[in-house]
Structure 1
Amino acid sequence: MNANAETLSQDSELRAMRDALQARLDQLLPAGDERDLVSAAMREGTLAPGKRIRPLLMLLAASDLGCDARQPGLMDLACAVEMVHAASLVLDDIPCMDNALLRRGRPTIHRQYGESVAILAAVALLSRAFGVVAAAHGLSGVCRAQAVAELSTAVGMQGLVRGQFQDLSEGGQARSAEAISTTNDLKTSMLFCATLQMAAIAAGASAAVRQKLRCFAQDLGQAFQLLDDLADGLAGTGKDLNQDAGKSTLVAMLGAEVVHQRLRDHLRSADEHLAYACDQGMATRRFMHAWFGQQLAMMG
């Protein structure tokens, strides 16, 4: 297969995965009646068109590790991760947090449904996510319990919650580069880590592979956050412009050129870890290279 045909095949596979994820999310989050604003907000926050990076990474990594990506239980794990991500965005955007107006090119959930409904929808999404993992078809009870534990760690005081608190309480103050990187780890790397660990659990991967996937997730999360910081002032992201104004970010501290180099260093390290972990398949590595390549090209 030549390079162009291979690229077309990959694009087709990714579209099919996104379509399958969307269809399953639609099933897992049924619409309520017209007065059920919480269900409507849950669906809007999750089903609105997005990049679906985390669930795609799970499906691709599991496939590279020898799993059938079409296995229903694996798809449900991927959907649960997307629900957790969606819940975190809803909470990030509310007025007492980042007070954002736009998300994925649409008005944020609290603007559409009110702040109280947004908070309830986020809590309900988290609850639904853990329920979906606990009931994932085709996985053993031990696997489901391990997956719940990984997701719980990513969400709580060792992950998203602590990262968001640090960002809110310290983000406007002068911070060291190490402190900023720690917050980035908690806010971004930890959910990537849970995503990949859940793929490894489903695939029955070895301890050595799982450790390499943790290292990959850490580098990936740092690269992802640096990319997000670099894109803060750019139009076309679907989010508010200059949301980081007044915050202590690595771009503000070190400048865009240094941050670009840091991003490239993290991507190189991430690729090395992933090459070790997924030595039988290339789908995850190709996806990572293509996605970051596309995003960096858009920045000029």
Structure 2
Amino acid sequence: VNTEVGNGFLTSKFNTSFRRPYDKNFVQAKLSNPNSYYLREMKWLIISSFLLIAITIFCFYYTVKTLLNQYKLVAIKNQFISNMTHEINTPLASIQVTTEALQQFNHDEETRKKYLAIIHYQTKKLSDLSNEILENAKLETTSFAINERIHLNNLILALINDQFQSRKTTINYLACKDELIIKGNKKHLTRSIANLIDNAIKYNKAENPVISIELQQNKTEIAISIIDNGPGIADEFKSKIFDQFYRIQTGNVHDIKGYGLGLSYVKKVINQHFGTIQIFDNKPEGSIFKITLPNGN
């Protein structure tokens, strides 16, 4: 075989006449390209091999991704345990010290009342902590009723007066001229707004902390904005701060109380009210947390 023709091969011509060697009788054979034959016979084996390689690559990718997710969950769990241990130990240590002081020393009635007030305050902190964890756990599996008519202007004004009037922070409340009414759950919505205001105060390290609360509405939506002049939040953390148990890393420093449940709770509550929560930068410094809810007017 020495001549290639198209997809096959052509043999050389040779004389087939032995009796009459000078007659011009020739035989020529044309053979198919063996490569095409091999490919045709092995195509299912080749296809199945490529499919097996693709499945192997996918399984490897899925395994690596699962391991990375597990690593992140372990890191989050360890951080949560560390934060919770600190949050629980602080009031427990305070209660223990105060109780020992009451037992070992003879105090007058006024001092005893002060010590008892400390014990009551720290016990309430532990109770609030356990309640918040339970509320978060409930929201994972159950929903709550959102059938109350809530007057937002009155709700926020009462919230400021009841919980934040004594804080060493300037709070500016810009209420809407019109009456703002939404349909929702008053208890959860109050706790969510209080959580955002508390965070704005707690993480604000400005010399003169200022928190502004603004209400706005249009035909379909009501917006609640909590604005602070604190250090702000870096862009790399904005997509993570609403994740459960997540806290911006500060190493082993626990100068700010928290355990990574507050903002995840807020987002769950707002979602169940068919609303949204977003974070923006407040120029020149600080953050804006904006809640948008359906207008119930």
**TM-score normalized by the length of structure 2:** 0.28
Whichever structure has more helix as a proportion of its residues is 1
Q: Which has the higher contact order (CA 8 A, sep 6+)?
A: 1
